[in-house]
Amino acid sequence: MDAVLRALVRSDPVLLVLLRGLELYDGGETYGHSWRVARGVLHVARQVGWPTSEQMTLTRAALLHDVGKLFVYRKIVTKPGGFTEEEFAEIRQHPRFGFEMVRMVDEAAGRILVAHHDCGWHPPQQSRRKYPRSDERRRNERRTIPRRPRQERRDRDRRQDLGIHDPQRLTLALADIFDALASQRWYKRAWADTAIRAELIERAPVLTEVADWLIAARAVLQESVPTMHEIARASSAMMGDAPFHPVNGC
């Protein structure tokens, strides 16, 4: 799987630059996450048997799905503990920022990644608030709806949110959630397979196969990620080994 990703990145200067930017952004956390999510979508795309061109578009969308965070202050994204409402509102903009960047070179990939959080899920660190569709009116409506219709309505809303007619969007959304749950972070442990499966199926009850494929490949998907220096060095000398020192105030 990594051979395909490396070849894709090496062949595309836009990917090289943006992924290197992500790697520098927060010590490699968002870059590593993006790489693992790309492994996940590529794995699912192969299981489904999508054409190679669609696999590459989806993989490019996965590699860049969080690139919009480059427009969010690093001190917010890397802040320990929870976010304020203002900070959370800032972070919620990153799919839109990413779309506006990526559409310049790949409209299809941009349209896939712009919806990568449209699944009502949110990292535990952030109190599991809806992401990014915080809709007070809908929450209030739910309180008055009997349990069974409420569940059906929620499932229908989620299918619409996830673009169930666009399974590649859904695949990216699920691979994104999968990596967040399967990875250990400073604020949480990695989740067990059974808990991850329940969470993914809760989000997308009609696509249990995708959850099972991701979980079955967990060990491979979670392997360590090559650095951008390693990727670039293999094909050219375009990147040196000099350490990067951010300059404050510039």
CB 72 to Fe ion: min, Å = 10
- Evaluated on CA atoms 69, 73, 78, 79, the torsion sign reads negative
Q: Given the rule CB under 5 A, which of 44-52, 61-69, 134-142, 215-223 is the region that contacts Fe ion?
A: 61-69
CB 62 to Fe ion: min, Å = 9
Torsion of CA 135, 128, 74, 227, to 10 degrees: -120
Q: Given the rule CB under 5 A, which of 15-23, 64-72, 131-139, 189-197 is the region that contacts Fe ion?
A: 64-72
Cα 109 to Cα 102: distance, rounded to the nearest angstrom: 7
**Per CB under 5 A, does 118 bind Fe ion?**
no
CB 145 to Fe ion: min, Å = 30
CB 117 to Fe ion: min, Å = 5
Helices 147-162 and 136-143 pack at an angle, to 10 degrees, of 150
Q: Which is nearer to Fe ion, 20 or 65 (CB)?
A: 65
Cα 29 to Cα 18: distance, rounded to the nearest angstrom: 14
**Per CB under 5 A, does 176 bind Fe ion?**
yes
Helices of type H across 93-146: 94-102, 107-113, 136-143
**Per CB under 5 A, does 66 bind Fe ion?**
yes
188: β partners: 185
CB 140 to Fe ion: min, Å = 27
10 Å CB burial of residue 29 (0-12, 13-18, 19+) is middle
Q: Which is nearer to Fe ion, 23 or 66 (CB)?
A: 66
Q: Which is nearer to Fe ion, 126 or 227 (CB)?
A: 126
Q: Given the rule CB under 5 A, which of 66-74, 80-88, 139-147, 203-211 is the region that contacts Fe ion?
A: 66-74
Binding interface with Fe ion (CB under 5 A): 66, 176
